Structure 1
Amino acid sequence: MEVEEQIIRELHQVPRQHYREILDFIREKKKKAGKLISDTALASESSLKKDWLRPEEDEAWADL
């Protein structure tokens, strides 16, 4: 059984008054995942900018 199916099955067994808490939990997990991606992108920017900020790169992308 896939995890998604297990989650849905479990959700159907939870009292409805807990749905808001579950929704908040899911949204918080999504927010943390998005922040992790943003942090990784920011961390890699400094190491990659030495290749990005070159005249050759500007020329290569000039026609786009």
Structure 2
Amino acid sequence: MTQIAEAVIDENGQIPLMEPLHVIGPHRALVTVLDEPPAGWDETLMAAEKALADDWLRPEEDEAWAHLQ
């Protein structure tokens, strides 16, 4: 029986499934990488943007990174 499960590929290339699959013995599997971020990804980035800006957009940060510009 064919089963479909959602997963998100992490930065290490690991693919943890969002829900368990029930199989007996080894089975072949196909992985299709979609050209879109995971659901909720945009909201997470938007929420983090202000917190990061508050931390990074300071004169001390500009001074610390000036040697790389």
Question: Would the TM-score normalized by the shorter structure come out above 0.5?
Answer: no
Over alpha carbons, which structure has the higher Rg? 1
Structure number with the higher helix fraction is: 1
Higher relative contact order (CA 8 A, sep 6+): 2
How does the TM-score come out when normalised to structure 1?
Answer: 0.45
